[in-house]
Amino acid sequence: MPEKQPSKPLHESVTLRNDPDEIRDAENKLLGAVERMGYSSASAFAVRLALEEAVVNGFKHGNRNRPGSTVKLDWSVDADRIRILVEDQGAGFEPDQVPDPREPENLERPSGRGIMLMRAYMTRVEYSKSGNRVEMIYERPSSD
């Protein structure tokens, strides 16, 4: 008999240090919630990839790898969608100013691929006006 999905959304907020174990634990909690809500492995892959890119970008580009800096992660998972907020302590950026990594002149440049992947795998990706917070929404596909 299949396990019943939780009726209430699953949610967590955490402040992460740039520590691989801490980041992995937070990721595992989110992916556990995705699994408990009955999303497919393809959906879990999409969420994992987008989350990893957002958190890495927050530490590397937003916080510039400053010792002691943190990234806030807030997520909720319900039967129809997954919402992820990632906020760093940096000054922010203009997402539209990041070069498209698919353009021939940018193929050798190491920037922009994380944003491109987040947009490819999530239903919606929006940045705050300040540019230091990203909200990602993943809507359950009808095939899940």
Domain containing 91 — which CATH number?
3.30.565.10
- Confirm whether 129 is domain-assigned: yes
Cβ-based neighbours of 122, under 8 Å, separated by 6 or more: 46, 50, 136, 137, 138
Q: What is the pLDDT of residue 85?
A: 98
- Confirm whether 31 is domain-assigned: yes
User: What percent of the chain stands above pLDDT 70?
Assistant: 91
Between CA 34 and CA 85 the distance in angstroms is 15
pTM over 0.75: yes
- Confirm whether 4 is domain-assigned: no
Answer whether residue 144 shows pLDDT above 60.
yes
- Confirm whether 22 is domain-assigned: yes
- Confirm whether 132 is domain-assigned: yes
- Confirm whether 5 is domain-assigned: no
Tens digits of residue pLDDT in 28-45: 999 999 999 999 999 999
Tens digits of residue pLDDT in 72-100: 999 999 999 999 999 999 999 988 877 67
- Confirm whether 1 is domain-assigned: no
Angle between helices 41-57 and 113-121 (to 10 degrees): 150
Domain total of the chain: 1
Q: What is the pLDDT of residue 43?
A: 97
Cβ-based neighbours of 92, under 8 Å, separated by 6 or more: 62, 128, 130, 131, 132
**Residue 17 domain boundaries:** 10-139
Q: Which backbone phi and psi does 29 adopt, to 5 degrees? A: -65, -45
Answer whether residue 111 shows pLDDT above 80.
no
| Secondary structure of residue 78 in the 3-state scheme | coil
Q: What is the pLDDT of residue 97?
A: 79
Q: What is the pLDDT of residue 1?
A: 45
CB 49 within 8 A of CB 117: yes
Which whole number is the average pLDDT over 108-137? Answer: 90
- Confirm whether 61 is domain-assigned: yes
